[in-house]
Amino acid sequence: MVFMQSGLPSLKQQLHTLCLEFVQRRLAGAEEAIREAQLSANEETKSSAGDKYETGRAMAQLEIEKNSLQRAESLKLKQALDQIEPAGKPLSVQRGSLVHTSQVASTLQ
């Protein structure tokens, strides 16, 4: 991929778009998994002993809860990305800034 050519979106805009697409895919996947788990729970038929039925419903409920957490996290990420103006060029480093430097990268602690 070539960045910063005239007529093409900036690197920051391209990265923002890729991040939004990632979050949308993750959100759609979580929502589909929730639907499938709910269908699975609804289709469980009660066996004569009852244990199989309860186990299947409990497993489906755990899947729903797990995917609901993933969905909530994806929504938080989307909200954060929606607050970023990818075409903006602020005068100071702030949320959403893309910083180019010749210095060695270090981890913030």
The rounded distance, in Å, linking the Cα atoms of 8 and 5 is: 6
- What integer is the mean pLDDT of 87-109? 73
Closest CA to 24 of 75, 63, 69, 58: 75
The rounded distance, in Å, linking the Cα atoms of 36 and 25 is: 16
Domain ranges, ordered by start, for the chain? 11-82
Phi, psi dihedral angles at 108 (to 5 degrees): -80, 135
Closest CA to 32 of 24, 21, 22, 20: 24
The rounded distance, in Å, linking the Cα atoms of 32 and 50 is: 28
Dump pLDDT digits (tens) for 18-62.
Answer: 999 999 999 999 999 999 999 888 877 555 456 666 788 888 999
The whole model's pTM is what? 0.73
